[in-house]
């Protein structure tokens, strides 16, 4: 039998992992400040690292928002949901590693695969979490069930990550830029919701 306190601890734990992962993204860049003599030199020498930080920050923030939103519809949990959430947290905790690799190493398909693949795995787990919640009445809140639109959005985002993964790894010229397509899906989803309303 699960308790509300146990559910709170699970969400706090995954929230903390996301916060730590985001913090870890910037720490290596902060350490390089002492190596530069001027701000201009620092920004010039670390432009690639700063770009990787901003991109990964946006992606982690977006994934965390989706995970947070999923658990707004949960009134109870099962061991399966706990393990799914921990697997999702693993992908978030892992993301600073491919971020550092993409910032420091030459852009090759294995690095792009690791970087975008980690994000894709995280997005896939989120979709599975949404579908699991929706298909288990014992878990889903009766007062606040998962809207069908939220599941559609999760599946759409997951497909976008898969497309970005394929484009980024199979077309070397596109590489990490494939992820920028995800940024355009946010205003598109907002516009679609407005039209439906």
Q: What is the pLDDT of residue 1?
A: 43
pLDDT beyond 70 at 61: yes
Q: Which residue has the tokens 């010039």?
A: 44
Q: What residues does each domain of the chain span?
A: 4-196
pLDDT beyond 60 at 40: yes
Per-residue pLDDT tens over the stretch 88-103: 999 999 999 998 888 8
Q: CA-CA distance, 25 to 128, in Å (whole number)? A: 26
- DSSP calls for 94-124: HTHHHHHHHHHS---HHHHHHHHHHHHHHHH
Q: Please, are residues 159 and 102 in contact by the beta-carbon 8 Å criterion?
A: no
In the chain the first and final C-alpha atoms are separated, in Å, by: 40
Record the pTM: 0.81
- DSSP calls for 159-182: HHHHHHHHHHHH-TTTGGGGGHHH
> Residue 189's pLDDT band (boundaries 50, 70, 90)?
low
CA distances from 29 to 24, 41, 135 (A): 10, 13, 43
Region of 122 on the Ramachandran plot (φ > 0 left; ψ -120 to 50 alpha; else beta)? alpha
């Amino acid at each position: 039998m699960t308790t509300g306190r146990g559910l709170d601890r699970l969400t706090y734990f995954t929230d903390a992992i996301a916060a730590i992962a985001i913090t870890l993204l910037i720490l290596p860049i902060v350490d390089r400040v002492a190596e530069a003599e001027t701000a201009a030199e620092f920004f010039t020498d670390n432009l690639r690292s700063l770009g990787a930080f901003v991109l990964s920050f946006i992606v982690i923030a977006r994934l965390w928002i989706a995970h947070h939103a999923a658990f707004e519809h949960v009134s109870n949990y099962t061991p399966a949901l706990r393990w799914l959430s921990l697997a999702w947290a693993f992908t978030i905790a892992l993301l600073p590693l491919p971020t550092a690799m993409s910032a420091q190493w030459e852009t090759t398909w294995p690095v792009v695969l690791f970087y975008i693949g980690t994000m894709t795995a995280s997005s896939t787990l989120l979709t599975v979490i949404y579908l699991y919640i929706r298909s288990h009445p014992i878990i889903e809140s009766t007062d606040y069930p998962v809207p069908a639109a939220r599941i559609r959005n999760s599946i759409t985002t997951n497909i976008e990550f898969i497309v970005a993964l394929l484009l980024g790894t199979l077309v070397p010229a596109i590489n990490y830029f494939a992820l920028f397509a995800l940024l355009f899906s946010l205003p598109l989803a907002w516009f679609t919701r407005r039209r439906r309303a």
